Structure 1
Amino acid sequence: MTPRTTTTTPAWWTAPQPVWLIAGIVAWLLVTAWARPLMAPDEGRYVGVALGMLHSGDWLVPRLDGLPFFHKPPLFYWIGAAAMAVAGPVEWAARLPSVLGASVAAAALYLFLRRWSTVRLALLSTVVLLTTPFFFLGAQFANLDMLVAGCISATVLLGAGAVLAREHEEPWRALLAGAYLLAAAGLLAKGLIGLLLPALVLLAWCAVTRKAVVLRLAVWLPGWAILLAVAGPWFVAMQMKFPEFFDYFVITQHFRRFASSGFNNEHGMWFYLPVLAALTLPWFAWALVPRGRDAAAPRTRFSDIDWLMWIWLAVIVGFFSLPRSKLVGYVLPALPPLACLIAQRVLAGRVLDTLLPKVRVTAVASALVCVACVAGLALYARPPGTLLRLSEGQAVAASDQVLMLDSYLYEIPFYWKLRTPVRIVDDWQAAATDTRDNWRKEISDAARFDPARAAELLLDRTQLAAALCMPRTTWLVGPSNAQLAHPWLARAQLVAFTPAVAAWRFTGSATGDAQCLDLPPATPASAND
């Protein structure tokens, strides 16, 4: 039952303008996107790939340190590279793909509920979603989770809107075409889940609500033509260029990762329930509040919208609870339906005039929590690579090389404004057999697709003299105690230092002396000493 309204209800609550609301969504999500440095490893990794795409001019093949990187498809990198081409390598531009993904999810939720439910529920659901700390921080984080969450959410809502429009004999083809277009974007954002999860949600909704029309729309040929035309060319091009692409991208990164127990971040089936409850406070507290006393009679039958939201929430949480490896951001697509269900609980049986002050307080408190979380991350979550800044007047020249010792700091290319890949010294034979998720495995896997380039960039310790003993300046980055493993660093100039990592400047050898790394023997101590 729709709660009663009175003549004192503000006009913005009953009839907000969609264009201005969507502009406000984007502005709110951008307001703190600049305020903190990139976090390691995810933000540094994905922003580094986007920046490498921009500098190399190769917008087809994603590359991590110059090597083909096929953990994920290219949509995030395309948007990020385009944003940084306009604004430069700054944090808000690097995070723009996530901001856009969140904006798409929030706008789609508002427009869907505005048409198929009430404006009041549409607006409150959108406010709940945008001021939920989990959602806000996801929009401020430069990785692929929020971008694909936006694509999945829009696909579900456009698909459901097409079904309802067809039932009501309204125009539905544009909505369905949009659903297929967003499913294609989801494929390009993070792979098969961009198509699989919306399909599971809509098919389950079809089964529960007995909407056989969903099955007919699922095989709509113009829609599949749109999907294949948008998403297909990149996958075909990668398979033609790299014969191992299908096995690595589809079999390993989708199915083996889903079923394997050898990856990081293993948690139990229950993991996402406390995550959703804790990270959506204070709004989630409304779920524990009884319905208002002004409801005429409790509803005993779910509407189509109710079923859609509950099924959507259950499918996302259930799907990502199955694999042993779990990351918090995986369940971001569950937040739009959860926001709608919370908003329904807030409105249930309550007079709007008495409810508005409580809603304002909750919204303001939640928004302050969002901003406080960003401020906390800016102050305390500072990866070593973001702190390792060169002093005023120091810069890596175009002719210099950068070499990382026994480590790879994803953030260095972004903050040092590097335009070419760095060279990395490590035990690459051991890295090739490592099954753990880490920087060594990522770069070792990427090396398989371009062995010739890898031979230039990936060095072992026996190749250090050849790389450094030349008339060329080398900037070295490594652990702050790297001199224990590399005594020759005593010849280098320390230019930046943190307790975890440090940077040195090594001038090389003007004569190309292959012995330039050798240290003179220590002078024997005299009796007087």
Structure 2
Amino acid sequence: MTRHRLVLLCTLAIGLLLFVWQLGSTGLVDETPPLFAASARAMAETGDWLIPRVNGLPRYDKPPLVYWLMGALYALPGQQAWNPLGTWAARLPSALASVALMLGLAHTLLRWPQRSRAPGSTALAAALAYGLSPLALVWGRIAVSDALLAGCLGFSLLLSWRCYAAGGRRWWQAWLVLGLAVLAKGPVAVLLLGLTLLLFGWLQADLGGLWARLRPLPGLALTALVALPWYGLALLVEGEPFWQSFFGYHNLQRFTAVVNNHQAPWWFFVPVLVIASLPVTPLLLLGLAQGLGRLRWRWLPADPLAPELSLQRFAACWLLAVFLFFTAAATKLPSYWLPATPAAGLLVALAAQRCRRWAWGLSLLLTAVLAGGFAAGPLWLPLIEAPEMPSLVAELLAAPWVPLAAAFWALALLLGAWAGWRKDALSGLLALQLPLAAFVPAVLLPLVELGDRLRAAPVRELAAEARSARRPSEPLAMLGMLKPSLHYYSRRVVIFEGDEPQHLLNLADRLRHESRPGQPASTSAQQPSVLVVIDSGTAAQPHWQGLKPQLLSRRGIYALWRLERSRLEQRAAQLQRQGVAADWQLQRPERY
């Protein structure tokens, strides 16, 4: 028992290092996280905890759990002292969900070691295989709901298997946690859990036993008891707009049609699967094959396993369920793979217990390729094009971070090869993972801080200057690159428009006719000027020339203008005579 506690303590320490260390040292990353953060902060400040609202509009895209957790942190006193950039409160739910999932994976393997001779090593390796996934690292440290869904759904699936392995004990736990997953992202959580259980019960040839132990009918009633009250209240208060936006657009339409240009080929998640488990993807593929087992061609069921020894098969079905479901969806995003990363962590660690030489050798080869890629940084860094960060390449070449990354990956390669040769693949896997865990705070986080300084800090600085320069009731707009962090840090309603001629016309028309809480419509006589944040590329467009704006500040590629609305309206009328039409009143499902 003491050894088990030590493994869990090590898992906790590494999880905090990966996901919580310096979590608030950088600002919010555009484009989506500031929308979550602003909505949650508005809940805490207004006391309206039912419907998230951002920039004066309701935000129906996600259920409220992530907003509630963020909002509870925003409600704490002393924000300027411990949360000056707003990122501790916004990112902590994602980070803690990721750490908790690492602990859940480790505890499950400690409790049911799957014939492992070294259960502590297997448990720690599985937690690290999940925590070091590039997808888990990215989404576990940003202010969106994906990591919270992965955490809640992952725990629900782990508890489902644990109930099956334990003969039906505590069957209700999985369904209660599933209710939280539905409040984190929506009904997709029920579909993914259901598909996983169907695949698992079919391969085990034990659908009846699975049904009897998990008791899905009373279980789904518990899930509904947790999740449905909010959905019912939201529908009662908001009515048809909520139904059409949340259920129609953000759930049904995302599955059946391409939204926001997120179109991808059917095989999109194959490279995502490969990248998400680097450098140990060969172990993942081996673990997937081992989990499925030797299929028999009569309806393809595999040989049944004892319930307490079936975790690898369950993880294989879990990963396949995510793969099949989102491959069938029309809209595809890399973040959709995140619910599969805990299953991938289990498969990697369990494959290392009875590893084939080719899988471990290919994993070391991939580690060597990545180490060599970092070492060759001076050759490929000049090829990076980053219009928002013109000095990025020069700063990367001058800084030690890329060579240091090569050193950490080379160390992982050497330790992994040495331990794998001296002992076994499981020991080699742990030896490879530990330098990569150190790579995150030593190299990856400083690189993130560099990106924040070059890309996000200029918008934060202009937001502060817009607040200080603003005249009473003067509106604020952003043109060209649309950065919701301007709204978050300025604490102002911002009119966002693009860089085309119709967007200039939209701006003039919206100032006159659109009203939002905190930003009433006005004429140019009532409010003669507007503050405008504009990037250099947009400012160079012909339709923005000759307006004689007053330059108040310049930060990076952005400028802060004070623009006379009379000149703006004259240019808008000129464009209208040329046949340009305003389109801001057209219905858009994701306005902010």
Q: Scaled by the length of structure 1, what TM-score is found?
A: 0.75
For 1:494, which of 535, 546, 552 is the aligned residue? 552
Among 507, 527, 537, the residue aligned to 1:468: 527
- Equivalent residue number for residue 162 of structure 1: 163
Contact 2:98 2:151 in 1 (8 A): yes
Amino acid at match of 2:60: F
Q: Against the structure 1 CA distance between its residues 13 and 342, is the aligned structure 2 distance closer, same or farther, given a 3 Å change threshold?
A: farther
Q: Which residue in the other structure is 1:61 paired with?
A: 51
Q: CA RMSD in A?
A: 3.9
Distance in 1 between the 2:236 and 2:123 partners? 46
Cα 1:287–1:394 shift into 2, 3 Å: closer
Matched residue type, 2:66: F
What does residue 134 of structure 1 align with? 135
CA contact (8 A) 1:388 1:496 kept: no
TM-fit CA distance, 1:495: 2.0
Kindly provide the amino acid, as one letter, of the partner of residue 476 in structure 1.
V
Correspondence list, 1:87-102, <5 A: 87=79, 88=83, 89-102=85-98
Name 1:525's counterpart in structure 2: none
SS at match of 1:502: strand
Q: Post-superposition shift, 1:314? A: 0.7
> Are 2:277 and 2:344, in contact at CA under 8 Å, matched by a contact in 1?
no
Partner of 1:278: 275
Q: C-alpha displacement at 1:68, in angstroms? A: 0.7
User: 1:133 touches 1:370 (CA, 8 Å); kept in 2?
Assistant: no
Residue type matched to 1:54 in 2? A
How far residue 166 of structure 1 moved from its aligned partner, in angstroms, is: 2.2
TM-superposed deviation, 1:31: 1.1
Report the 3-state secondary structure (helix = DSSP H, G, I; strand = E; otherwise coil) of the residue aligned with 1:282: coil
Q: Displacement, 1:453?
A: 5.1
Q: Give the conservation status (yes or no) of the 8 Å contact 2:133–2:278.
A: yes
2:86 counterpart letter in structure 1: V
Aligned to 1:365: 435
Q: Secondary structure at the match of 2:222?
A: helix
Equivalent residue of 1:252, what SS?
helix
Rounded Cα–Cα distance in structure 2 between residues aligned with 1:393 and 1:39: 17
Counting helix residues as a fraction of each chain, which structure ranks higher?
A: 2
2:477 aligned residue: 404
Task: Give the corresponding residue for 2:391.
Answer: none
Q: 1:190 aligns with which of 172, 178, 185?
A: 185
Query: Does the C-alpha gap of structure 1 residues 369 and 268 become closer, same or farther in structure 2, counting only changes over 3 Å?
Result: farther
Supply the distance in 2 between the matched residues of 1:360 and 1:304 (Cα, whole angstroms).
Answer: 23
Contact 1:313 / 1:338 at 8 angstroms: preserved in 2?
Answer: yes
Query: Are the aligned partners of 2:36 and 2:144 in contact in 1 as well (CA < 8 Å)?
Result: yes
Report deviation, 1:236: 0.8
Is residue 551–residue 561 contact of structure 2 (8 Å, CA) maintained in 1? Answer: yes
Residues 175-214 of structure 1 mapped to structure 2, 5 A cutoff: 176-209=171-204, 210-214=206-210
Q: Which amino acid aligns with 2:34?
A: G
Q: Equivalent of 1:342, from 348, 356, 376?
A: 348
Change (3 A) 1:217 1:464: farther
Equivalent residue, structure 2, for 1:116: 112
Q: Distance in 1 between matches of 2:567 and 2:270?
A: 58
SS in 1 for 2:198: helix
CA separation of 1:223 and 1:458: change in aligned 2, threshold 3 A: farther
Contact 1:113 1:122 in 2 (8 A): yes
Determine which of 491, 494, 501 is the counterpart of 1:422. Answer: 494
Give the length in aligned residue pairs: 463
Change (3 A) 1:184 1:222: same
C-alpha displacement of 1:64:
2.3
- Equivalent residues in 2 for 1:305-320, closer than 5 Å: 305-320=311-326
Q: 1:305 to 1:279 in 2, by over 3 A?
A: closer
Match of residue 326, structure 1, among 309, 332, 357: 332
The residue number in structure 2 matching 1:379 is: 450
Which residue in the other structure is 1:143 paired with? Answer: 144
Deviates more, 1:48-57 or 1:315-324: 48-57
Matched, 1:103 2:99: yes
**CA distance in 2 between partners of 1:286 and 1:518 (Å):** 63
Q: CA 1:492 to 1:368, structure 2 compared with 1: closer, same or farther past 3 Å?
A: same
Question: Structure 1 residues 354 and 467 mapped into 2: Cα distance closer, same or farther (>3 Å)?
Answer: farther
- Indicate the residue corresponding to 2:257 in structure 1: 260
Residues 271 and 153 of structure 1: CA distance in aligned 2, closer, same or farther (over 3 Å): same
Secondary structure of 2:19 counterpart: helix
CA contact 1:426–1:458 (8 Å) conserved in 2: no
Change (3 A) 1:468 1:219: farther
Which position in structure 2 is the counterpart of 1:526?
none
- Using the TM superposition, give the Cα deviation of residue 178 of structure 1 relative to its aligned residue in structure 2, in angstroms: 2.3
Residue matched to 1:435: none
Name 1:79's counterpart in structure 2. 69
Give the Cα–Cα distance (whole angstroms) in 1 for the partners of residues 63 and 286 of structure 2: 43
Residue number in structure 2 paired with 1:479: 535
Aligned partner of 2:323: which letter?
V
Residues 283-320 of structure 1 show CA distances to partners (whole Å, capped at 9, x for unaligned) of 33545899xxxxxxxx9975421210111111111111
Mapping for residues 505-520 of structure 1, pairs under 5 Å:
505=562
Q: 8 Å contact 1:469–1:516 — kept in the other structure?
A: no
Instruction: Return closer, same or farther for 1:394/1:456 CA change in 2, 3 Å cut-off.
Output: closer
Match for 1:354 among 406, 415, 423? 423
Structure 1 residue 224: Cα displacement: 3.9
1:368–1:301: structure 2 CA closer, same or farther, 3 Å change rule?
farther
Identity over the aligned pairs, expressed in percent?
24
Distance 1:273 1:427, change over 3 A: closer
Provide Cα deviations, 1:382-431, integer angstroms capped at 9, x if missing partner: 68554224379956269554411445420113333x1x433456899x89
Higher relative CO (Cα under 8 Å, sequence separation at least 6) belongs to 1
| 1:52 and 2:42 aligned | yes
Q: Distance between the aligned counterparts of 1:95 and 1:84, measured in 2? A: 11
Query: Could you tell me whether the CA contact under 8 Å between 2:164 and 2:214 is conserved in 1?
Result: no
Q: Deviations over 1:85-138 (max 9, x none)?
A: 334343233211211221232222122222222533222211222223332222
| Cα distance in 1, alignment partners of residues 251 and 274 from structure 2 | 28
Deviation of 1:58 after TM superposition, in Å, equals: 1.7
Which digits, 9 at most, give the CA deviation of each residue in 1:504-523, with x for residues without a partner?
357x8xxxxx969799xxxx
Aligned-partner Cα distance in 2 for 1:67–1:475: 21
1:503 and 2:570 matched: no
CA contact 2:183–2:227 (8 Å) conserved in 1: yes
Q: Deviations 1:459-507 (Å, cap 9, x if unpaired)?
A: 7xxx66256328xxx54323344485456863534223332x322357x
Shift of 1:246: 1.8
Q: Structure 1 pair 78/281, CA: closer, same or farther in 2 (3 Å)?
A: same
Q: 1:59 to 1:489 in 2, by over 3 A?
A: farther
Unmatched 5+ stretches in structure 2: 288-301, 357-418, 571-592
- C-alpha contact (below 8 Å) 1:265/1:327 kept by paired residues: yes
